[in-house]
Every structure is written in C-alpha cells, then in structure tokens.
Structure 1
C-alpha cells in the first residue's frame, strides 16, 4: 500500500452505504464520502499543482473530512486551518506555508478571500463532474513518501512550525493503532479533538482502515457533560480517544454517578498527563473495559509509546507511558549523546517510519531536532529528538518527567511559551515580559512590566494567539529580575511569582 486513499476506496467497496462519519447536522456514507472527495479533487485539477500545500478552513464536520480526502485526490497535501483562529496567526502560518489555494465553506468565503487570492468554496466544488482519467494519472505519480498533510504547532520564536507527515507515516502509524486497539467495523468512535490536533489522525484513519464509524462530538456538549453522554449513547459510541482534561470534566463533575455510557468498551487518552485520580473515577464505574495512556508528539505522526493499563494505581501514583509502538524504536540519550539503559532520566528519541518528513519551509528548525542518530555512524539514519525527559521504572516501563525546554502541554495542546511572549511583546506599552508555566496548578502565568492594564493585554493578544494559549494569571512588576547573563531570570520568577502576586 502506498496511499491512504486505498483505505477509503477499500472501505467504500466493502461498505458503500455504511455511515463513515457523522456530526450533529449531517452524516455521510463511505461511498458518498469517496465520491465527494473525488469531486473536490477534480475541482482542484485547475491548479495544476502536485505535492503542494492546500489550506482547508472549515468547521470540524463531515464536509471537512471529505475536503481533506479531496485534496489528496488532487495529488497535493492538506493543512487544517482553524476558522476561529485569529487572522494574524493564519497569515503567519501562510507566510511559511504559501499554500496554492484555500478551501472554505460558504460561510467563511469573505474571511477566506481576505487571506488568499485562490479560494475554493466546498459547496461549489461538490457540484463538479468527476474526471476519473486525470485522477488516475495523478495517482500513478504518487508514492508513499509524498506529503499527506502538515500540522502547525506552536513555535518558540512566535512563528508556528508545520510538521509534514507522509502517506507512509500514516499508513504505518494508523495500522499499528488499528491492530493494537482492535478497531473493528462495529467500532463507533466518539471524536473529541480538533482536526488541527495530531490525535485526530488516529481515530480518523483507523476508522477508514476498519470500515468503522466516527462520530464528531459537538464541542459545546463538553460544557454540558450529561447531554454529552446522552448524545454518545444515542450514537452508540463504544471507543473514545480524548485528552485527559476532557475525561477530567466527567470525573470532576462526577457525571457517571448520574448517567451511564451504555456502550463504552475502550477509553484511550493522550496529549497531556492523565491525573490518576480521574482514571480511577472512570475505572470505578467501568472496571472491565480497556484503558490506555498514549504518548508522543505530532512529529511522530501522533504517538511513539503507549501503556495499556494492566494494574491498579493509587491517586498519587504516576501512570507510565509504557513502551514503544510496533515498528517504532525509542531510546534515551544523556547530554553527551550516550544511551541511557538504567533508571536515570534522559531525552526520549525516536526512529522509524512514524517520523515526520520535517518542518515545512523551515530547514533550521528541522536540523535542530531531526538529526543523525548519534549511536549510528555507519550510514545516514534520521532520528527525532522529542525534547521530553523520561526514565524507566523498575518494571521497564517509561515514565514521563518533563519538557527539556519552555514547551508545555496545557489543556491537551503543545504550546511554546515563546509564542505567547512574542504576542505580548508586540503590544506597544509592554516594556518586558516573561511567560512561565506552573505545572502544579496547570496555569500559564504572564509576568510583565509596562504602563498597561490586564484588560488591554488580553484585548491586544486576542487577535494574535488562539484562546487555549491565553494566560491564566497576569502579574505586573516594577522591574524584571535578571540573571548573570543579563537575561530575564525565569527560574527566579517561577520560584517567586506567588510572592509577586500579593
């Protein structure tokens, strides 16, 4: 197999009328999804481009999934753009990406036209007659190392980075996910994560491999968890792969004490540290189902290690991140690039077919983390340095410790604190600022000097960064502490910011 469209086509052949995807307003069969994707692909033939980025700015719905597949049919790769993202950030992404076109729904047509000169409206694209001959010619030229999509994650300099993933990456990764978690044609996925988040790759592509059904859960229902569970019961959802904070909403509000998930069989989670007390709440109500802790960055397609929960944990114990996925090798390096095999902590490094091609139009950042394997001097072999510090426990399971740099996991998103600082520094009245992260409280703290109010800061950054990056606390200081190098002393700030609040 060399192309993910083969998964969709095989499923369409076998389950033509079966529902592949649903959202609160719509549903689409495998056959209809493939046909609409081919129409979208045909509409894009006018671009006469191959292996180029095409941005898709649509809501998280059935149509957006069809648009992604349509871009692939055209021989190009898709880039998911959140329609709610500030225009400034989209333009920053576009400066790096330079997409050949932008696909949108009709409701975003004006916004799209302000962002790009070549706009395709989805509703019009699916009126196109399919050009099977040209689509077949394009397919012949495609190979498994061609890019499939790029996902933009937060960047330390304030510029987002676009990890480019190939067909081979997703074929290997999604096949592992499908086999390991036994995704079958009767699997009913409840999809929580946005399509611009790498976790969505797992449930979308394992769904089409198995001929399963994926239900897009309405985001608003996560504020009304009883209604969320009622919706999931209505759709017979039996498998979920969520960020821990979404599972935590259910646990903190003790929702399962009042309403039951009738069909649930598998609860998978990733994206941030899973509080064991939340897991134990779920286990108390559903002791006999599968739970798994998955771990990995966008640069390894989604995941590189996993742990299927096989024993009891007390509320204050840390869940392991387990072992390497099949056909994915991991190892730990110390600061001198020597391998760690005992219980000391080291940087998690990954090699194998899950590794992204690198960052789009960003050779410098690519070179920093996609490097020659220091344990192999004999032939070229690229590994990915995750920047995550981990260690082995006495059972030989990996335990996550922290990030090496300023990058954090907050509310399931990977965030570079530098991007928030860049947005704040752009405000004219700001003199200096630092953003730190309080792991214990899971709070982003902005500390600044300057003649500006908290309200003005929040108003000023609202069109520069997405909401999940907003500071949870803002502290004003008369002067910033500096270290011996004349840099802002972040360590001091982290240790003393509670005093500065008073």
Structure 2
C-alpha cells in the first residue's frame, strides 16, 4: 500500500478495484462504486467551477444516505472540507453553528424546510430537482496539491457557551487511524456496515473512510429503527451485516430484551463499540450469543480523531469487572498526569493526555479554547510538543491496559453523544431566561440529565422541557427537573456542583 497524503487517493484505487460492488444502500435504493465515483466528480466539478470554493468549509444539510455520501466526497474532491449538519436540530442551533464557522455555502435540498442565516449561501443541488449534470471532463489531478495537514471535516460538539465547539480534523489524522486499524488487522476488505450513527458523528466519517479504503458497503439503517431494537437486529440479519460500530446504549437495549436469542446473525464478524461504558454483564450476553465475532472496545474524544486506545476482548470477563479501554494504537502515545502534572504510577488514577499525529487541528475560530485543550507537554521542556488533555480519569491495570474511571469535569457522554452540561445551563439561564440560576447534573447509573433550578416557585416541567427542546437537540434535554428555593454555594459564591451531586446522586 503506497503512502497516502489524502483520503481521496484510497477511493481512486477502490472504485477501480470494485466498480460494480454496492457502495451505499439506502432502503430501496443503492449505488455502485463506479456510479458513486462518477456522481462525486460531477458535484465536485460544480463546487470547484460554479461555486469557486477551494480550501474552504462547506456545510451539508441532508439526511444520511446516498446524497450525503456524494456531497461529502465531492467536497473533498473539490479540495474543500465538509461540515455535516443535523437536519433534526432546531434552527437556532443550526444558525449558531453557521455563524461561528461561516462556511462557503450550505448544500441541501428543497425538502428540508429550515430558515437559515441570511449571510450563508444555500444551494439546493440535491433531490429530485437536482440540476447537476454528469461531467466526463472533470480533471481529478487538481487535488494533488491537497496535503495531509489540510482540513478534511469539521465536527461540531457540545460547548460551554451555548454554541457547539467546531473541531477541525485533517487528512493526516484520518489516515493515521486508517493505517492503525489496518496494522492491527481489525478490518477486512468488503465489510457490510450497518451504519447507525448520525451524520454529525465521527463514526460516520470513518464509515466513509472504510468505503474509500476497504471497499466497504454502507447500509444506512433507517432512522426510526434506533427506537425499535427488534427492527435493528432484524436489519442486521436481513442485510447480512458483517460489521457494526455502535454506541453501547443501543447494544444494552438489545441485551435487555434478549433479542439475539431470536435472530441468526451468521455474517456478523466484527463488532466495535465506543462512546460510553458498556456494562460488562450486557456485553457478556452479546459475547455468549455471538461466539465467532471479534469484539473491540474503543476509546477516544473527537479531538484525537475517532479513537486512540483499543481493547479486543478475548478473555472471559466477570460481570462486575469493567471492560478496559486498552492500549494506544501505533503512532499514538499516552501519558497520565496527576494534579501537579507528574506521571502517575501504575494503578494510580490521573488525567489521560494524548500525543501524536491523530490530534485535531483545534477548535474553529476559538484560539483560546484550542490553547487550553491542546497544550505543551508538561513533561517536555526541551522543544515544542503538543498534547491533548482529555479530562478523562484513567488508571493502568496489571496487564498494562488502561481502565476508564470517569470524567474530570462536566463533559459527559450519553447515548454516544458528547455533552457539555454547562451548555445546557447557559441555554436555560442566558438564552431562554427560564430561571436566574440552575445546575445540570448527570446520573451515570440511570443515564438521567437532571436540571436543578433555583426559583421562588415550582415551574411546570412540561413547559420547561418544551422551551429547551426548541433550542437543543433531544439527547441534551434534561429528563428530570428538581426545584430548589436556593442552590448551595461554595465559599466564592459559585453554585456548589459537588454538594448538589452528592446530595442528589450520591456519587
């Protein structure tokens, strides 16, 4: 395999190798690698020549499917970076993202009824009325000046100011992950993927890489199936899925209903999971029903491009033993620091910090946050060396594998989504002005987001919930509401989050 300087080079090889293989399957529609390549070049030609975009961010507001894949790949071929938006997000959130990133344009279709920022150009070039014509003369050589440090995509994640943080990832970081999993032999050519993650997830972007690099087929899981575990497992059986990369919440629901007792998943051979802790008892159910499958636990925040540690579970685990997050991939190094920025000993807990070429470029338009998260390695005073401070607390066990212990701050992972609890507080207090003071907590056992608000009178929970849902996506909306006449304060007058958490959750 030759050295790659951008991910497009993988696809240029794969579409020639597997021209008639199905690249993307969406309900009753599908597209081959050859046809996908042709349509991608047509859209790339339009982006390059008509829109005149180069080395820019281009937003995509489309449902996940064949069109979104075409849009993302065409943006890359045109020498730009894509930023996928969630069509289910409230308009306020979409516009906050657009105002912060200010993309060259938004590619969408006429069926999506969203009122977007007037300063952003909206291009309705997808759907039944698409005006993009097949172009046989597109010159692909122009992307040769794309180098591995050029941006590949922007992924928005929860931020503390009410506006999501826009994380910039480049070609090199994705190539680094591709080659790391290739080295560990964790993927085979021609996998059939049950693509469940939202279009705004980094998992979806990696599924695009699997398509480009390994000739994988992306089978888009109908969105409604997420709420119906039986339909999910039935989908795996009917589509003869060989590979899944899911968040544990979905898999726990399937285990609770013991659905694997009723379906034959003979083709499924590789199961990856990441994003949150997978309760070992529920994992053991999956393991007992799919003995021939390989199971791999991945760990990593978006700032290091997908995942940086992995653990393939080969041994039998006790139901009460946590599943390790494992060891770092090749070309990734981790250090675990105490509160004084000193290395901890094996068995001791500390903050996990990452270094390597998998690190993101930073946060779009936010030098201060980038500076605070991507810092000089405190163990190296000799030359510049950037590490990312994850805020996650880990320890190393006797086998040399790392075990996740918890979060250092208010950043949580729920249903695979990364959520900054202070963003919810900011929306309640500053944006919606529902109350003057509040505190948002997370119960990791019940998976509840708890809004504790300060008010002279108890408010109607349904009204609060409806207001919050107008601004935030469903997965960020609190599930419990607690009234308090006066929230506890610490000595500097700030709300005492730890005191509240101890009294209400007991953690």
| Alignment-derived partner of residue 306 in structure 1 | 310
Give the number of aligned pairs. 498
| Alignment-derived partner of residue 148 in structure 1 | 152
SS of structure 2 residue aligned to 1:319: coil
Matches within 5 A, 1:74-93: 74-93=78-97
Is 1:25 aligned to 2:32, yes or no?
Answer: no
Alpha-carbon distance between aligned partners in 1 of 2:270 and 2:183, rounded to the nearest angstrom: 14
SS of structure 1 residue aligned to 2:372: helix
CA contact (8 A) 1:239 1:265 kept: yes
Is 1:409 aligned to 2:383, yes or no?
Answer: no
Picking from 201, 207, 227, the partner of 2:205 is 201
Matches within 5 A, 1:200-239: 200-239=204-243
Alpha-carbon distance between aligned partners in 1 of 2:114 and 2:326, rounded to the nearest angstrom: 47
Structure 1 pair 182–411 and aligned structure 2 pair: CA distance change class (3 A): closer
Structure 1 pair 19–129 and aligned structure 2 pair: CA distance change class (3 A): closer
CA contact (8 A) 1:388 1:401 kept: yes
**Greater mean deviation of Cα atoms: 97-106 or 422-431:** 422-431
**Greater mean deviation of Cα atoms: 253-262 or 123-132:** 123-132
| Alignment-derived partner of residue 435 in structure 1 | 440
SS of structure 1 residue aligned to 2:440: strand
SS of structure 1 residue aligned to 2:94: helix
SS of structure 2 residue aligned to 1:108: coil
| Alignment-derived partner of residue 485 in structure 1 | 492
Scaled by the length of structure 1, what TM-score is found?
0.95
| Alignment-derived partner of residue 445 in structure 1 | 450
Matches within 5 A, 1:75-474: 75-108=79-112, 111=115, 116-123=120-127, 127-130=132-135, 132=137, 135-137=140-142, 139-425=143-429, 426-450=431-455, 451=457, 452-474=459-481
Alpha-carbon distance between aligned partners in 2 of 1:297 and 1:361, rounded to the nearest angstrom: 20
Per the TM alignment, residue 224 of structure 1 is displaced from its structure 2 partner at its CA by 2.7
CA contact (8 A) 2:434 2:464 kept: no
| Alignment-derived partner of residue 10 in structure 2 | 7
Per the TM alignment, residue 498 of structure 1 is displaced from its structure 2 partner at its CA by 6.4
Alpha-carbon distance between aligned partners in 2 of 1:389 and 1:357, rounded to the nearest angstrom: 23
Picking from 54, 68, 89, the partner of 1:50 is 54
Q: In proportion to residue count, which structure has more helix? A: 1
Structure 1 pair 178–134 and aligned structure 2 pair: CA distance change class (3 A): same
How big is the alpha-carbon RMSD for the aligned residues of Structure 1 and Structure 2?
1.9
Per the TM alignment, residue 109 of structure 1 is displaced from its structure 2 partner at its CA by 5.8
Per the TM alignment, residue 431 of structure 1 is displaced from its structure 2 partner at its CA by 2.4
| Alignment-derived partner of residue 497 in structure 1 | 504
Alpha-carbon distance between aligned partners in 1 of 2:269 and 2:140, rounded to the nearest angstrom: 40
SS of structure 2 residue aligned to 1:455: helix
Per the TM alignment, residue 110 of structure 1 is displaced from its structure 2 partner at its CA by 5.4
Per the TM alignment, residue 236 of structure 1 is displaced from its structure 2 partner at its CA by 0.9
Alpha-carbon distance between aligned partners in 1 of 2:434 and 2:215, rounded to the nearest angstrom: 55
SS of structure 2 residue aligned to 1:440: coil
CA contact (8 A) 1:19 1:29 kept: yes
Alpha-carbon distance between aligned partners in 1 of 2:428 and 2:257, rounded to the nearest angstrom: 34
Per the TM alignment, residue 111 of structure 1 is displaced from its structure 2 partner at its CA by 4.0
Per the TM alignment, residue 201 of structure 1 is displaced from its structure 2 partner at its CA by 2.8
CA-to-aligned-CA distance 1:35-73 (integer Å, 9 cap, x gap): 111111111122323221111011011210110001111
Per the TM alignment, residue 390 of structure 1 is displaced from its structure 2 partner at its CA by 0.5
Alpha-carbon distance between aligned partners in 2 of 1:122 and 1:179, rounded to the nearest angstrom: 38
Scaled by the length of structure 2, what TM-score is found?
0.94
CA-to-aligned-CA distance 1:276-331 (integer Å, 9 cap, x gap): 01111111111232111100011111001000002111111111000001111111
CA-to-aligned-CA distance 1:82-104 (integer Å, 9 cap, x gap): 01101111111112100110001
CA-to-aligned-CA distance 1:319-347 (integer Å, 9 cap, x gap): 10000011111111122222224221111
CA-to-aligned-CA distance 1:220-262 (integer Å, 9 cap, x gap): 1233333322222221101111000011111011111222223
SS of structure 2 residue aligned to 1:240: strand
**Greater mean deviation of Cα atoms: 299-308 or 14-23:** 14-23
Structure 1 pair 456–192 and aligned structure 2 pair: CA distance change class (3 A): same
| Alignment-derived partner of residue 44 in structure 2 | 41
